[in-house]
């Protein structure tokens, strides 16, 4: 079987198809690169030997470049081979991602990590640059353990640590300064928290008994249909913080939440964790995360 001629024919058909049906060219590209990857693996003698067949890829690259032009270098052909190996077992290709997205994701071996980034690109329409920034910040590694990408819970998508932009990260922050830094970069903060967070208010005044209290941030998550109370602390986690947040969460549940909303979630963002304190928190909707200034 002449694998080179078949690979060349697949590429040529794709170029023709893209000119006729421009609206679906991304799907055509992905299908083409998958098919080329399959042919390369077969030409190299199967999956077990594929990684040793780089000489053949170099030969194909030279011939394709001479006959079809640019875009068929060794790196691209290797990526197509890896693309096929990643998706050959029936995994669904998402054509909301472009080839440039997949090319950047291919070095990721961990399936859960790979699927997470595919999911957020699809949900948030991330550019390649935005995807690269999230990978560089180790976003996946900062998620809760055992994240179920298909049915994630709100707390598992809140990162730890949370990266917060400040003017001078070397300064010793007060709670007020941290609060103001978040307000000045509220869009970045909401994106950093996770998917689906929207801003409701800052320093939200509530009355409990004869005293007024102020919730640092009140957010709403439209995916999980729940309010989220955020409390900022610039110290190590302390037991009294739990009682404070539970009080605010209960107030929101009783006075702000509608019957069709899910129970309110409370998140304490502090400088340093104290796992022993959280062991005695019996409310399943209270969570703690640390922050890191950037």
Using one digit for the tens of pLDDT, what is the confidence trace for 256-271?
999 999 999 999 999 9
Q: Note the pLDDT of residue 26.
A: 86
**224/253 same-domain check:** yes
Give the mean pLDDT of 123-145. Answer: 91
**81/162 same-domain check:** no
Q: What is the DSSP letter of 46?
A: S
Q: Is residue 112 part of a domain?
A: yes
- 18 pLDDT more than 80: no
**284/162 same-domain check:** yes
Q: What is the DSSP letter of 265?
A: E
Longest dimension (CA), the chain: 85
Q: Is residue 86 part of a domain?
A: yes
Count of beta carbons in the 10 Å neighbourhood of residue 221: 21
pLDDT tens for each residue of 161-200: 999 999 877 778 899 999 999 999 999 999 998 888 999 9
Q: 101, 120, 142 — which closes off a domain?
A: 142
**159/265 same-domain check:** yes
Average model confidence (pLDDT) for the chain?
A: 89
Confidence of residue 94 (pLDDT cuts 50, 70, 90): confident
Among the listed residues 114, 116, 72, 121, the one whose alpha carbon sits nearest the alpha carbon of residue 95: 121
pTM equals 0.80
**169/287 same-domain check:** yes
Q: Note the pLDDT of residue 51.
A: 62
Query: Tell me, what CATH number does 213's domain have?
Result: 3.40.1350.10
Q: 98, 119, 142 — which closes off a domain?
A: 142
Q: Is residue 222 part of a domain?
A: yes
**107/225 same-domain check:** no
Q: 109, 142, 175 — which closes off a domain?
A: 142
Q: Is residue 52 part of a domain?
A: yes
Q: Check: CB of residue 37 under 8 Å from CB of residue 85.
A: yes
Structurally, the chain folds into a number of domains equal to 2
Among the listed residues 165, 222, 232, the one whose alpha carbon sits nearest the alpha carbon of residue 194: 222
**79/161 same-domain check:** no
**30/137 same-domain check:** yes
- 123 pLDDT more than 80: yes
Q: Is residue 234 part of a domain?
A: yes
Give the mean pLDDT of 128-149. Answer: 86
Lowest-pLDDT range, 20-29, 38-47, 118-127? Answer: 20-29
**136/173 same-domain check:** no
Q: Note the pLDDT of residue 47.
A: 73
pLDDT tens for each residue of 202-258: 999 999 888 999 999 999 999 889 999 999 999 999 999 999 999 999 999 999 999
**16/111 same-domain check:** yes
Confidence of residue 150 (pLDDT cuts 50, 70, 90): low
Q: Is residue 147 part of a domain?
A: no
Give the mean pLDDT of 50-72. Answer: 87
Query: Helices 128-136 and 111-124 meet at what angle, rounded to 10?
Result: 140
Q: Note the pLDDT of residue 83.
A: 95
**pLDDT above 70 covers what percent of the chain?**
90
Compute the distance between CA of residue 114 and CA of residue 110 in angstroms, rounded to an integer: 6
102, two tokens? 């997949």
Q: Is residue 78 part of a domain?
A: yes
**106/194 same-domain check:** no
Q: Note the pLDDT of residue 114.
A: 92
- State which residues form the domain around 193: 154-293
**205/226 same-domain check:** yes
The β-bridge relationship of strands 211-221 and 197-208 is: antiparallel
Q: Is residue 148 part of a domain?
A: no
- 98 pLDDT more than 70: yes
């Amino acid at each position: 079987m002449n694998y080179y001629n078949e690979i060349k024919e697949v590429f040529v058909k794709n170029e023709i198809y893209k000119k006729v049906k421009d609206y679906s060219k991304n799907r055509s590209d992905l299908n083409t690169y998958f098919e080329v990857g399959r042919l390369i693996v077969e030409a190299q003698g199967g999956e077990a030997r594929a990684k040793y067949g780089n000489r053949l890829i170099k030969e194909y690259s030279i011939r394709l470049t001479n006959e079809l032009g640019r875009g068929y270098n060794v790196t691209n052909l290797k990526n197509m081979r890896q693309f096929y190996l990643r998706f050959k077992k029936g995994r669904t290709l998402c054509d909301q991602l472009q080839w440039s997205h997949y090319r950047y994701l291919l070095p990721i071996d961990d399936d859960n990590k790979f699927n997470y980034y595919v999911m957020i690109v699809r949900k948030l329409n991330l550019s390649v640059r935005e995807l690269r920034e999230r990978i560089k910040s180790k976003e996946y590694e900062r998620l809760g353990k055992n994240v179920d990408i298909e049915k994630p819970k709100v707390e598992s998508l809140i990162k730890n640590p949370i990266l917060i932009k400040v003017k001078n990260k070397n300064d010793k922050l007060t709670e007020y300064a941290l609060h103001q830094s978040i307000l000045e970069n509220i869009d970045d903060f909401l994106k950093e928290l996770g998917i689906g967070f929207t801003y409701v208010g800052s320093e939200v005044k509530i009355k409990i008994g004869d005293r007024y209290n102020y919730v640092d941030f009140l957010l709403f998550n439209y995916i999980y249909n729940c309010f989220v109370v955020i409390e900022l602390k610039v110290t190590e986690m302390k037991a009294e913080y739990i009682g404070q947040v539970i009080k605010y969460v209960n107030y929101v549940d009783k006075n702000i939440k509608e019957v069709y909303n899910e129970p309110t979630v409370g998140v304490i963002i502090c400088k340093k964790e104290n796992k022993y304190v959280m062991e005695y928190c019996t409310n399943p909707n209270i969570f703690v995360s640390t922050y890191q200034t950037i």
